[in-house]
Amino acid sequence: MSVLETIQGPADLAGLSEQQLADLAREIREFLVAKVSRTGGHLGPNLGVVEITLAIHRVFDSPRDRILFDVGHQAYVHKILTGRQAGFDQLRRKGGLSGYPSRQESVHDVIENSHASAALSYADGLAKAYQLRGEDRHVVVVVGDGALTGGMAWEALNNIAAAKDRRIVIIVNDNGRSYTPTVGGLASYLNALRTNPRYEQVLELVKRSLNRTPIVGAPVYDVLHGVKRGLKDVLVPQGLFEDLGLKYVGPIDGHDRAAVEHALEQAKRFGGPVLVHCVTRKGYGYHIAEQDEADCFHSPPTFDPATGIPLTGSEPKWTSIFREELVEIGRQRPDVVAITAAMEHPTGLDAFAREFPDRCFDVGIAEQHAVTSAAGLAMGGMHPVVAIYSTFFNRAFDQVLMDVALHRCPVTFVLDRSGVTGEDGPSHHGMWDLSILQVVPGLRIAAPRDGTRLRELLWQAVGIDDGPTVLRFPKGAVPDDVPAVDRVGGCDILVRTGEPDVLVVAVGAMATTCVDVASRLAGHGIGVTVVDPRWVKPVDPVLIDLARQHRLVVSVEDNGRVGGVGAALGLALADAGVPTPLHVAGIAQEFLQHGSRSELLADLGLSAQALARDIVERVASLEGAPLDALAGGEHDPLPRG
Ligand SMILES: Cc1ncc(C[n+]2csc(CCOP(=O)(O)OP(=O)(O)O)c2C)c(N)n1
Ligand SMILES: CC(=O)[C@@H](O)[C@H](O)COP(=O)(O)O
Ligand SMILES: [Mg+2]
């Protein structure tokens, strides 16, 4: 039996020998590669925290002590050690193990939100609560060097440092990378500590002193702390973290479990906020990941573990089309610049950055700064294109509203991963952008239905210079082009069959589904017009006129129903006194769990079959006619369910 098979919970770690612990670390890595190669997921980050997570669960007492992970994509090892090994065959699959901590799964999990740079704020709050309640509990936070480039992290550190007696242990997992090498002054600071040759000597000294000195409390900590202060004062006049008032321990070799345990024991005894700086390598222990220059296998799809080669074909993705077209725009528009929040490749800016290195800015995981910096660039005469996943864009709402739109800055936001994303779960679905952005005066939103429209609309967006524009599209494969049969104003008519009974307003990528709906209704006496407004904000007046001509309007969007495109259309129809009934088909305003995009859309009633069935029922209720008469009785091609 392997050591790993004996681990059902953290308590099983206590009695293990050094050899067993070394075997366990190896077995965990083998487990991660074997499982994640079959499901896809965050392999690189988790390979890098095996020793750190083992040390945490040997030194602290979860769930009494709370273990928090920033982002949470690196919590697989934590899940393995807390009784969830069996779930990894269904990792990130509908109904299976979440790829992030989940309170529904385990009492050992706390934070379910996968948005970076928030964990330290949770820790500050939790520690305050335990102090007020007189509970002697530690709060342990694993935060990556990338997550530390986010502003919230520093807001939290500012507060944590002020409270000398709150039991918070911050473990900085410093692998020098977000996806790509971490950027900015902080990265340079951490790098200075990591890469100076004296660091190696000092590390050796620390290691020897740790191994020689049994854990007797203060002396070990003082050795660690004193030596480090010496190092830091030599390298950097004043320790950044110590200047804040935080006790700093490190840098520690994050793959030396015993050294990490020693440091955590000292931190635990200190009884106040301590920051333990662990130096690790992303993808550690799986050479294919370690050598992956792109992103160290940050989040690979299913792959062959022997070669690392993806098992799924690389079909043209929305991102690929954006990547290609932006380079062409960059060639013709020297005023166009690009901004990423530590996701240059995932958002498709990597090609632009290669061709125009001086015109592409990676600001770190700092979406709020990205947006207001874009306002500054626009005020300086440039036209910024800010590429951010839809869900991460949420946190920069005030910056879009007050720093960009109030000043009518010509900034183009490109929101990839809009709508139902899939396997990353509730805090990754981009189901809010069409709602929250409706309230921004002067901001225009385009939702391309296919690759050709993406190219067209991107050019139109960067051509608008009197205010901000947004393009939004989903994750994954691009549908075949959906040609228009007519153009009315700014709207494309995609289908026009029979009498003008039902007007289907297709928002962006839902157009393919809406055309399928029309074909399912064609043979049943229900005339359908499918219209793609292309620019979905502001509401195109053409839609008002088309609605007047039809008996029912159905809007279909891959966004929350509340406050989305359909809701805005409803307000416009009411303001125009158009009595045509409107049904808004969209995502129920609830947190969606993880699963494939197609599964989740079907569950939401956004499949062509479900939409067609719903329209048949709505038309029938308009006429009071029995459903069967409309739907062809036993011949009904729209079986329930
Ligand atoms: C607000 C926000 N922006 C972007 C992301 C996407 N993202 C997920 S992990 C990651 C890199 C995190 O780097 P780091 O904190 O150093 O962790 P590592 O992967 O290196 O362990 C990014 C940018 C996110 N989760 N949240
Ligand atoms: C953890 C995180 O936020 C990212 O790694 C995200 O999982 C990437 O999503 P995609 O795989 O859709 O690029
Ligand atoms: Mg990192």
Taking residues 249-272, report their average pLDDT: 95
Q: Give the bridge partners for 537, in sequence order.
A: 445
What class, spelled out in words, does domain 318-472 have in CATH?
alpha beta
pLDDT category of residue 211 using cuts at 50, 70 and 90:
low
User: Residues of the chain with pLDDT > 70: what percent?
Assistant: 90
pTM given for the model = 0.93
Rounded to 10 degrees, what is the CA torsion of 197, 199, 203, 206?
Answer: 130
Please provide the average confidence, as pLDDT, over all residues in the chain: 92
Q: Could you tell me the CA-to-CA distances from 334 to 123, 348, 381, 529 in Å, in that order?
A: 45, 19, 11, 41
Nearest residue to 557 (alpha-carbon basis) of 529, 587, 588, 531: 587
Catalytic residues: 282, 367, 395
Binding residues: 73, 114-116, 145-147, 175, 286, 367
Query: Which residues make Cβ contacts (< 8 Å) with residue 34, sequence separation at least 6?
Result: 305
Nearest residue to 507 (alpha-carbon basis) of 480, 475, 541, 471: 471
| Burial grade of 354 (CB within 10 A; 0-12, 13-18, 19 or more) | exposed
Determine the 3-state secondary structure of 368 from DSSP.
helix
Q: Are 126 and 171 in contact (CB under 8 A)?
A: no
Determine the 3-state secondary structure of 168 from DSSP.
strand
135-149, 183-197, 259-273, range with the lowest pLDDT? 183-197
Q: What is the pLDDT of residue 212?
A: 57
Q: What is the pLDDT of residue 635?
A: 35
pLDDT category of residue 164 using cuts at 50, 70 and 90:
confident
Give residue-wise pLDDT tens across range 231-251: 444 433 347 888 888 999 989
Residue 627 scores a pLDDT above 70: no
Q: Give the bridge partners for 553, in sequence order.
A: 503, 582
Q: Are 378 and 348 in contact (CB under 8 A)?
A: no
Nearest residue to 97 (alpha-carbon basis) of 116, 82, 118: 82
| Burial grade of 105 (CB within 10 A; 0-12, 13-18, 19 or more) | middle
Q: Are 597 and 474 in contact (CB under 8 A)?
A: yes
- The CA distance from 544 to 324, in Å, is 35
- The CA distance from 612 to 494, in Å, is 16
Give residue-wise pLDDT tens across range 275-332: 999 999 999 999 999 999 989 899 999 999 999 999 987 777 999 999 999 999 999 9
Residues with Cβ–ion distance below 5 A, ligand 3 = 144-146, 175, 177
Q: What angle do CA 396, 398, 403 make, to 5 degrees?
A: 100
Q: Whose CA is nearest to atom 1 of ligand 2?
A: 73
* Strand ranges, E, within 15-117: 66-69
Is there a common fold for 3-207+240-290 and 318-472? yes
Residue 121 scores a pLDDT above 60: yes
pLDDT category of residue 530 using cuts at 50, 70 and 90:
very high
Residue 634 scores a pLDDT above 50: no
For domain 3-207+240-290, the CATH superfamily is Thiamin diphosphate (ThDP)-binding fold, Pyr/PP domains (3.40.50.970)
pLDDT category of residue 206 using cuts at 50, 70 and 90:
low
| Any ligand 1 atom below 6 A from CB of 559 | no
- The CA distance from 515 to 470, in Å, is 25
> Domain map of the chain by residue range?
3-207+240-290, 318-472, 486-622
Q: Are 365 and 387 in contact (CB under 8 A)?
A: no
- The CA distance from 32 to 42, in Å, is 10
Binding residues for Mg(2+): 145, 175
Q: Which residues line ligand 2 (CB under 6 A)?
A: 71, 73, 114, 298-299, 346, 417, 421, 424, 475
Q: What is the pLDDT of residue 312?
A: 87
Residue 436 scores a pLDDT above 70: yes
User: Residues of the chain with pLDDT > 90: what percent?
Assistant: 83
Long-range contacts of residues 98-103, Cβ cutoff 8 Å, at least 24 apart: 98/425, 98/593, 98/594, 99/41, 99/42, 99/73, 99/423, 99/424, 99/425, 99/594, 100/71, 100/72, 100/73, 100/75, 100/424, 100/425, 100/427, 101/69, 101/72, 101/75
| Any ligand 1 atom below 6 A from CB of 72 | no
Count Cβ atoms below 10 Å from residue 561 Cβ, excluding itself.
19
Q: What is the DSSP letter of 635?
A: G
- The CA distance from 322 to 387, in Å, is 10
Instruction: Return the ligand 2 atom nearest residue 417 CA.
Output: 12
Q: Which of 43, 50, 68, 71 most suits a substitution to test ligand 1, by most atoms within 8 Å of the C-beta?
A: 71
Q: Which of 114, 178, 421 most suits a substitution to test ligand 1, by most atoms within 8 Å of the C-beta?
A: 178
Nearest residue to 106 (alpha-carbon basis) of 4, 9, 3: 9
Residue 116 scores a pLDDT above 70: yes
Residue 618 Cα to ligand 1 middle (Å): 45
Q: What is the pLDDT of residue 37?
A: 98
What class, spelled out in words, does domain 486-622 have in CATH?
alpha beta
Handedness of CA 129, 131, 133, 135 (dihedral sign): positive
Q: What angle do CA 55, 57, 62 make, to 5 degrees?
A: 150
- The CA distance from 464 to 330, in Å, is 15
More confident residue, 222 or 19: 19
